[in-house]
A = this chain, B = another copy of it.
Amino acid sequence: MINMQATIERIREILDDELLSTQLSDELNVFHSADLADIFQELKPEERLECFNQIDEEKAAEMVEYLPPNLQVEILGDIDSEKAARIITKLPHDAAADVLGDMEEDETEAYLDSLPQKFSDEVRELMNYDENTAGGMMTPLFMRVTPDMTVKQVMDYIRKEAEEDNIDLYYVYVTDKQDHLLGVLSLRSLLTTSFQTQIREIMNADIVKLHIDDYRDAISDVFMKYQFDSLPVVDHYNHLRGIVTWDDAQDAVEEETTEEIYASSAISTGDIDEDEMLEGSLFTSIKARTPWLFVTLLGELVAVNVADCFGKTLQALPVIAIFMPLLTGLSGNIGTQSITLMVRGLSTGQLTMGAALKQILREGFIGLLIGSLFGILVTIVTWGWQHNVELGIIVGAAMAINMALAAIIGTLTPFVMKKINIDPAVASGPVIATVIDVLGLTVYFILATVFLVEIL
């Protein structure tokens, strides 16, 4: 990894100084294209343009692939269109399709027309698919051979073909004359088998494959699970249409994780692109954030109602009100901890439904232990501060009970949601937070009413 701070300063220094301008190109071209992408994100638009023109086109194309969509469009829009076209042609088909897809309609068309016919046709086809499906993620370039070829023939074929366009050579794919996928062949087995062997003998016919309509979450699951370098994509007729490589899958995994993390804090990006949340329209953000907040609103209104039912207690002893945030705050936190552990465990597969009871007991016990510890602390603090031992004990006891309750509810709910086929990640958080508030306050007020108000 590089020292971003220093690098940026160095580049700005060169940009500002006429005399150094000749050095810019050398300075930039030593970086790996992934590093360049990081650097470019830190630069100002005008700085980006100036630097971009100093990078060799090969490297520039590699870098563009690493840039976030908005920057890809910005830069390709700023440089002259011939160069932009040349760079787009150097991108893998799926990347080119994404970039062109993010441009204005007319821009896209202009570029597509200016690109080499074969390339633009292939890209046009990819653009027909949702970029979150296998169709949108796949590249149509791969090695296709027939089962009757020999290892020698395939190697000669690869030597000839792979030269032409930059084909990903993770595997060689075996199809019949009608393009039906028959098997997969690793370069490994190709390199370790005698030249005369027929492909049919060494190909793996028991194939894990993606369907062209498979959605991002399914694709990321398959890659995470089987850990292949790349997977073939077939259509309804088992025709081989393209391959998805693991680096594209990696992005899918990252986006899925983001969605999971968002969901866990009540941001529901169902049909919304995650990027939208930080750069999209305000309306989109509000649309994604309001629903669960509204559920919280309803839940908390119930909590308000609970508190109201104990209005008499509050009138008799207003001081008990001041401990409400303490109780709700801490119960909420330990509950969230439990939810997070369960949701993540279920999503990584470390937890199975069978583990539910064990975890509920475990978490309940942990909650009780921590709750009691904190309860004692609070008792002491309250006692020493309000000089009211009964009040201290009540608050402390409520603390212990509420934290245990919170941990149990936080553990139970994700399992229940999973059981009834609701994604446990989806806003377990806010819903439970309110449930905990309601229960917690009830416990507290009952204790207070019975033991404090009575004895007054």
Contacts and interface: CB of A to CB of B under 8 A. Distances in A.
A41 interface: yes
A392 B107 CA distance: 53
A238 interface: no
Contact of A344 (B188, B262, B301, B303): B262
Given A226-B32, A261-B261, A282-B369, A325 B307 contact: yes
A163 interface: yes
Interface in A60-106: 68
A314 interface: yes
Contacts of A420: none
A257 to B, nearest CB: 5
Contacts of A208: 32
A362 B286 contact: no
Given A159-B191, A261-B264, A345-B278, A296 B329 contact: yes
B350 A192 contact: no
A366 to B, nearest CB: 6
Interface string A421-453: 000000001100110010001000000000000
12 contacts: A34-B227, A169-B191, A187-B187, A278-B355, A293-B330, A296-B333, A301-B381, A303-B325, A308-B319, A314-B322, A333-B430, A333-B433
Interface of A: 1, 32, 34, 38, 41-42, 68, 155, 158-159, 162-163, 169, 186-188, 191-193, 206, 208, 218, 221-222, 224-227, 229, 246-247, 250, 253-254, 257-258, 261-262, 264-267, 275, 277-278, 282, 285-286, 289-290, 292-294, 296-297, 299-301, 303-304, 307-308, 311, 314-315, 318-319, 321-326, 328-330, 332-334, 336-337, 339-341, 344-345, 348-352, 354-355, 359, 362, 365-366, 369-370, 373-374, 377-378, 381, 429-430, 433-434, 437, 441
